[in-house]
Structure 1
C-alpha cells in the first residue's frame, strides 16, 4: 500500500483545527515577520497583554516591550538575519512584557523560526509567570526567614544526607563544636562524635535505612559531642527525617546541657548529703534518748531508795551522791546541746578579756581530770614559764580545752597516754593534745568536726556523751579568730588535735574574766530576791536554796503576779524566766526597769 496525497478539500479543515488549537491554548502565541510586524495574536495573548488582536496586528512587536528590550529589538533581529547568531531564538528566556495599560510583568518567552515561500517568520510563545514569580519571591522570603531563625537560635542545627555527610551547619553549631562551617560541610558527621558513638554511627545509619528501626530519630536522647579541640560535652540530640525530592536528609538539633548536668550532679550530691545528714541526725537522736535515759534511771532509783523506811543515813547520803553525779551528767548533756544550738543560730556572745592560756589550761584540767583519772590514763602537761596572753572568753576557751581532753580520755582505752603541750609561736598560741587512743579512720577525718558525725563509739559509750564536743570546739575556736585541726595515722594509732589562737604581746595587761568574777562574787547578804518562773518546782527550789543561803527570797509564777509582787515586796534582785505565759520575761524586765530604774538588779533565767 502507498500513501496518497491528501485532497485539497482537506486543508480548510486542517487550518480550522489548527486555529482552534491556537485560540484555546493558555499561552499567548504571536507571529511576526522579519521586520518585527505582528501577523497573528491569539486570544491568550490578548488576555496577557490587554490588547485586542486588531490593535496589534500590523504593528511592530516592540509595542509589547518595555525598555531596554524595545530599544534593542530591531538591532537584535538585524544582527540575527545577518549573522545567524541567536540569543533567544530556539532557546527561550525570562523577559519583561508591557501591557496596554503600561504595566510590566515577568513572562517566559520561547521563539521558534519557520519559513513559508522563502520568507522567514518567527513565532513567540509567551506565558505570564507573575504568579510563579510571586510564589518564588514568597519562597525566597520564607527561606530567608527560616535561615534567619536557624542562624539565630541558641541550639545547634545540623543537616546530613543519607550517607552521613554534613549539608548544613548553623552558627550555634559552629559555636558549640568550635568548627567553622567550611571545616565541616561535606565531611562525615562522625567527626563531631567521640567513641563509642563514632564507631557505631555508620552501622546504625545503615540499619535504619534498611529496617526503619529508629534509636534516635524522632525520639531524642542525651549523648556526648566532641569539639574541635577534642574535648567532649553532654548534649541533648533530637533528630528528624525529611525528603527533598527523592533525596533523604536528617536534621539534628543539639543543645549543650553541660550546665544542666552540673546542676543535676550538684542536686544529686546535695540529696546524698541530706540523706547522710538525716541518717546521722536519726542516729544522734537515738543516742540522745539513750544518754538522757542513762542518768534518769539511777536518779529515779536513788529517789526511791531515799523514800524507803529502812534507808539509814549512809544509804540516803549515797543516794544523794548518785543524784548529784547523774544530775551533773544530765546538765552537761543539755548544756552541750544548747551550746551547739546557740552557736549555729549565732546566739553566743563571747565575753572577751585578756586571759593567760596557762590559767585556762589549769581551769580546763579541773573539769577533765576526773574523766582522765577514772580511765587510769597517764596525763602529761607542758606549759611555758611565761604567760601566753590571748583576747578571749576564759569560760569558753576552758570549754574548748576540756572538751578536747575529755574526748581524748573517752576514745583511749584504759591506762592510755594523753599529752597536752602549750607553746607560743611568734604571734600565735598553739595548743596540742595527743592521745594513744583508737585513732580516726581516714574517711572520717575530713568530717570529724561536723555535727552528728562520730566514729566507733564503743569506747565512748562507756563514758557517755553525745559526740558533739568537737563541733563546739571548732565553732568556739573560730569565734576567737583561730583554727583547729585533727590528725591521725589511722585507726588504732591515736589522734592529735591542734588549736591555734592569735596571741597578744607578752607585756599585755588586764584583768581576766576569772579575776573579774572573783572580785564580784561577794554575796548579797540579806538581799530581797524575787524569783519569777511558770515552772513551780523550779521557782520554789531556787527560792528555797536562796533562802537557805541567807537571802530573803520569794517566788511567783507569771508576769502579772511579778509586777504586783514587786510593788509590795520592793526586791533588790529579780530572777525572771524569759519564756513566761502572757507577759513574757522581756516585758516584765522592761516594766521593772522603768519602775525601779537602777535600784533593782535583773537576772534572766532561761533554758534557751
Structure 2
C-alpha cells in the first residue's frame, strides 16, 4: 500500500533526528566507528571541543584525552567496557583544540545492527568544569571548616546523631573530656553525665528541649573519662538538611570550672567580709567599756606605781587588739574593693607626727630609739590623712616588732621633685631572699621562725602596700639578709612644700551637758565617767524612752547615742529626738561597733552629725566635742 500523503518517510525521520542532534549546543554528541574514529560531529561538540567537522571527522577520539590517559590506554579501555556492558559513563579531564582542559561527563553507548553486530559507538560529552569548581570550593570550604573545628581547643565541639550517638570529635573535646576519637565515636553522649542526671533523664530531656526551642543552653557538672567532674557550659542545637529533615545535633561544651571556682571564691569573700564585720562589731562592744575604763584610770591624778603599770599594760594590749580588729575589717574591704577614702590636701608633717605618737607606747615598751629626718618646710600631699597614717603606723609597728629590744629605727622623709618619699629602716632581724619576695602577700609573716615569736595576722604590710598604691605610689622592701635589718620605702605623687602657717588648736574650756545613751551599762557608765573627768556634766540613759524623757527635761549640748539597742534602736531614738523642742539644734553622734564606709554613710544620711566607732578613741571623742562646741577641761 503506498504511503499516505504527507506521511514522513524513514529518510525524513532520520533527517529530522540529525537536525535535532545537531541543534543541541550544551552537549557534544557524536558517533565513533568501531575503531574509535569520529564519524559525526554536532554543533555542541564543535562548541565544546572547538573543532569544526572537517577538522575532526575521521580522526581518533583519543585526541580529546590528556597524554597520560592516552599512554595508559584509557580511550581503548572505555570502548572495550562500553562494548562489553553496552554503556560506559565516567567523569574526567578532556582536552580542547587549543590544549586547555575541561572537566567532562562522558557517556559512551555501544551501537549494534539488527544482527547484534557492533556498528560503532555513540558518545555524549558535557562540560562540568563550573560544577566541579563549585564542588571543589565546597569541599575546600568544608575541609577548612573541619580543620578550624578540629583546631579549637577551648571548646568541645562534636556532632550527635538524632538519637544522641557521637559522630564526630574535635581536639577540644579530647582535651576537655579525655577521650580519643576512637574511644568515643559511636557511643551515646550520656556517658558524660553523672548517675543522678542519667536517672533523671537529663540527656534525653536536653535533646527534646533543643528540638522544641531550636537550642538549649545550661550549666552543670559533667564527667571526664577518668571519672572526675568539671563544671560545663553546654549548648545543643539541632541540625537539619536542605529538606528540613533532622540530621542530628551539634553540641558545644566549655570547661567553666575555673570561672565557677572564682565565683565561689567571690561569694566566700563576701561571706567572709560579712563575718568579719560582725566579728568586729561583737569584739568592739566589749572593747568599748574596757577602753573607757583605761581612760578613766589615765585621768586619775596620782595612781600608785602598780596601778599605773597595770593600766599601761592594759592600754597597750587593748590598742594592739583594736588594731587587729581594724586590720581584719580593712582586709575584708580590700578583697571586695570597698575601701574608700577622702582625697584632700593633707599636711604630711602632721601625718608623721600622729603616726609616731600612736606607735610611741610600743617603741617605749621595747626601749627602741627612733630618729626622724624631715624637710624643714611643711609638706602637702593629695590623699586621705587617716589612711596615710595607717600606712606609716603599720611600717613603724612592723619595725618595732621585728627589732630586738633597744634597737634603732630610722624614719626619713624627703622630697624629689613632686614625689614625696618616706623610709622606715631598722637594725632588726632582717629578711631572707625568699621572705623578701613574699613579704607583701596576704597573711605572710616573713621568715617562719621569726614570725612565730611575734603576734599578728600578717596583713599589715599587705594593707600598707595596697593603700599606698591607691594613692598612686609604690611600697618596696629591701634587706641585706637575716640579722641585717630591713628598710621599707614608699613614695607619694603630687607633693609640694609650703611655708609654715598652721595655727594652734583652740583652747578648750569646761562646763557642758552631755547625754550618753547605751543599753550596755558598763559602756555607758564608763564613758560618762570619762566625760565627767573632762569637766562635762553628764546624764546617762540605758534605753530610748529614758533618753527622750531626759531630753525633754533639759536639752543637752551633745548626745552620744548607741545604735544597737533593743526595742528602740538609735535611728528610731534620733528621729524622735529631732522632733522634740531643741532637737534639731543638738549635735548627735552615733556610737556603733560597725565601722564600714556604708555604715557611716547610712548614719549621716539618717541625720547623725558624726559616726563614732567602738571602742571609742579618746582623740575622736575630743574632736567630736570640739565640733559640737562643748568645752572640756584640758
TM-score tier (shorter):
0.5 to 0.7
Deviation at 1:461, TM superposition (A): 5.6
Query: Does 1:607 find its partner at 2:590?
Result: no
**What is the match of residue 518 of structure 2?**
533
Indicate conservation of the 8 Å contact 1:354/1:511, yes or no: no
Structure 2 counterparts to residues 14-413 of structure 1, below 5 A? 60-61=13-14, 67-69=20-22, 76=39, 91=79, 109-112=109-112, 147=139, 150-151=142-143, 153=145, 155-156=147-148, 238=181, 267=258, 319-341=310-332, 346=338, 348-350=340-342, 352-357=344-349, 359-413=350-404
**What is the match of residue 469 of structure 1?**
460
Residues 150 and 379 from structure 1, CA distance in 2 versus in 1: closer, same or farther, beyond 3 angstroms?
same
Residues 567 and 125 from structure 1, CA distance in 2 versus in 1: closer, same or farther, beyond 3 angstroms?
farther
- What TM-score comes out, normalization by structure 2 length? 0.50
Deviation at 1:548, TM superposition (A): 4.5
Indicate conservation of the 8 Å contact 1:532/1:575, yes or no: yes
Deviation at 1:68, TM superposition (A): 2.7
The SS at the match of 2:433 is: coil
Which protein, 1 or 2, shows the higher relative CO under an 8 Å CA cutoff with sep ≥ 6?
Answer: 2
Structure 2 Cα separation of the partners of residues 453 and 109 of structure 1: 91
**What is the match of residue 576 of structure 1?**
561
**What is the match of residue 551 of structure 2?**
566
Residues 576 and 430 from structure 1, CA distance in 2 versus in 1: closer, same or farther, beyond 3 angstroms?
same
Deviation at 1:564, TM superposition (A): 5.3
- What TM-score comes out, normalization by structure 1 length? 0.52
Structure 2 Cα separation of the partners of residues 564 and 65 of structure 1: 126
Deviation at 1:77, TM superposition (A): 7.0
Deviation at 1:405, TM superposition (A): 1.8
What is the Cα-based RMSD across aligned positions, in Å?
A: 5.9
Indicate conservation of the 8 Å contact 2:330/2:339, yes or no: no
- Picking from 477, 485, 491, the partner of 2:482 is 491
Deviation at 1:485, TM superposition (A): 1.7
Indicate conservation of the 8 Å contact 1:427/1:505, yes or no: yes
Structure 1 Cα separation of the partners of residues 484 and 565 of structure 2: 52
The SS at the match of 1:402 is: helix
Structure 2 Cα separation of the partners of residues 435 and 266 of structure 1: 46
Deviation at 1:409, TM superposition (A): 1.7
Indicate conservation of the 8 Å contact 2:343/2:382, yes or no: no
Structure 1 Cα separation of the partners of residues 442 and 564 of structure 2: 27
The SS at the match of 2:423 is: strand
The SS at the match of 1:506 is: strand
Unaligned runs of 5+ in 1: 1-53, 96-105, 158-171, 177-216, 226-234, 243-259, 304-311
Structure 1 Cα separation of the partners of residues 260 and 483 of structure 2: 31
**What is the match of residue 12 of structure 1?**
none
Deviation at 1:434, TM superposition (A): 1.4
The SS at the match of 1:153 is: helix
Unaligned runs of 5+ in 2: 1-6, 32-37, 42-52, 63-75, 90-105, 154-166, 186-232, 234-253, 295-302, 595-634
Residues 486 and 124 from structure 1, CA distance in 2 versus in 1: closer, same or farther, beyond 3 angstroms?
same
Residues 471 and 606 from structure 1, CA distance in 2 versus in 1: closer, same or farther, beyond 3 angstroms?
farther
Structure 2 Cα separation of the partners of residues 352 and 562 of structure 1: 38
Deviation at 1:600, TM superposition (A): 0.4
Query: Does 1:506 find its partner at 2:488?
Result: no
The SS at the match of 2:508 is: coil
**What is the match of residue 167 of structure 1?**
none
Structure 2 Cα separation of the partners of residues 364 and 431 of structure 1: 13
Residues 598 and 69 from structure 1, CA distance in 2 versus in 1: closer, same or farther, beyond 3 angstroms?
same
The SS at the match of 1:367 is: helix
Length, aligned pairs only = 418
